[in-house]
Amino acid sequence: MTDPRRSLSRRTLLQATAGGLASLMAARNAAAQTRVTVDSGNIQARPIAIPDFISPAPQLGRDMAMVLASDLQNSGLFKLLNPNGFPERFTNPSQTPRTRDWAAAGAEALVVGQVSQGGDGRVQVEYRLWDVVLNRNIDGKRLANPAWRRLAHITADQIYEKLTLEKGYFDTQIVFVDETGPKDKRIKRLAIMDQDGANVRTLSQGREIVLTPRFNPVKQEICFMTYVGEQARVVIMNLATSQREVVGNLPGMTFAPRFAPDGQRLVMSFGQGAASQIIEMDLRARQSRQLTPLDPKIIDTSPCYSPDGRQLVFESDREGTQQLYIMGLDGSGARRLSRGDGRYSTPVWSPRGDNIAFTKQVSGGFLIGVIKPDGTGERILTEGFHNEGPTWAPNGRVMAFFRESRGAQGGARLHSIDITGYNERQLPTPSFASDPAWSPLLT
């Protein structure tokens, strides 16, 4: 028999523990699919040329340019020119390009770079960014890092920011739940990778169910939920040492944890029976405080801090249906945010503070959307059989989520999408994957 905890939402997991699984499954299976209109935006990808970087080690030069180009192309904001049409070759990054020829080849921007291994073992890169249309050099830097691939991401961030006036998001990682094995016996392990799918490593052995990993905004550590038997606990893991620590010693279940922007506090759900409340834990004093009351008729869960740390968004069924609410950090002034049809869950505040992402279930479909903190501007970005778990890139322009496919051979895969609903793409993972969380910039 399939373990329902492996495929349903956090709220369903809690309700299943309380004995409500059968009715929830029946309701979901009986519902029909829905169609939505996705705002595709009005994005014109900018043509950019990125020749292989000059290097005494030609393969390093090719690899450096390839990762840089892939980052920019995957953003959906840039279109790479075919190298077969490049009008000239470079022997020095300071060489002035023939911009008229590059413009005739279709380029609007050009990156010329040089990469080498330093005597200290660090990889060094020097690049020039040219505006081909205006015939001028608009950026140039020298950068170094022990890892060439990470240096490529850092360089891509610099170029992205110069051309878009937004912070980049390429020098980041994604932590997720790696899923292997038959659908009715999935083994779930914590895993982490670069945002482009490289350098995957596992963080747990699969002897427990793991859910909702989240990054500390200021430290190299994550929090997550573990589920062993009927006992759920929130754990913090140091990514450098793999050392774990269980948060709190509460008599009920703790789940759905998220760090505060300062990394010193943790907000989470605390459940007893079929109800749950929201609590905050001071990680220095190891003291908790109640933010919402424990009412046997109410489930309050999935809390998330605003970027300034002054408010919380969360989901609750206090008015009869599963909706989104915002309240002050002391639990005061709770107001309903969502007003549309269906059930809303997994709210996540954008790093910019201008939007809140959510999962929405309506007429059998699972949708990923955004809404403004004042309750206006709700937009659906994508739909599917089972979409869930949005997480923001640190610049607030892109988000990742997971989508589960139907059938005995189906499973969850990670996807990313632009805030406009444009450029949806599947992220590479070694196997099925769910519950993504995007890190802050590593630099």
pLDDT reported for residue 219: 93
Question: How many CB atoms are closer than 10 A to CB 259?
Answer: 23
> Where do the structural domains in the chain lie, given as residue ranges?
4-30+173-438, 46-164
CATH of segment(s) 46-164: 3.40.50.10070
pLDDT reported for residue 148: 97
Give the pairing of strands 386-392 and 398-404: antiparallel
pLDDT reported for residue 252: 75
Q: What are phi and psi of 194, to 5 degrees?
A: -65, 160
**Cα dist from 360 to 94, 280, 423, whole Å:** 52, 26, 20
As a whole number of angstroms, the distance between CA 258 and CA 2 comes to 28
pLDDT reported for residue 249: 66
Give the pairing of strands 300-305 and 287-290: unpaired
> 4-30+173-438: which CATH architecture?
6 Propeller (2.120)
As a whole number of angstroms, the distance between CA 429 and CA 413 comes to 8
Two tokens, residue 185: 């016996």
Instruction: Please check whether the two domains, 4-30+173-438 and 46-164, share a CATH topology.
Output: no
pLDDT reported for residue 230: 73
Instruction: Render each residue's pLDDT in the chain as its tens digit; 443 residues.
Output: 333 333 334 444 444 333 332 232 233 333 322 222 223 456 789 999 999 999 999 999 999 999 999 999 999 999 999 999 999 999 999 999 999 999 999 999 999 999 999 888 899 999 999 999 999 999 999 999 999 999 999 999 999 999 999 999 999 999 999 999 988 889 999 999 999 999 999 999 988 889 999 999 999 999 999 987 777 889 999 999 999 999 876 777 888 999 999 999 999 999 888 899 999 999 999 899 999 998 999 999 999 999 999 999 999 999 999 999 999 999 999 999 999 899 999 999 999 999 999 999 998 899 999 999 999 999 999 998 899 999 999 999 999 999 999 888 899 999 999 999 999 999 999 999 999 999 999 98
User: Cα 81 to the chain's mean position, in Å?
Assistant: 29
Q: Are 63 and 148 in contact (CB under 8 A)?
A: yes
As a whole number of angstroms, the distance between CA 104 and CA 95 comes to 19
Residues 6+ apart with CB under 8 A from 13: 5, 211, 227, 255
As a whole number of angstroms, the distance between CA 426 and CA 402 comes to 9
As a whole number of angstroms, the distance between CA 162 and CA 102 comes to 20
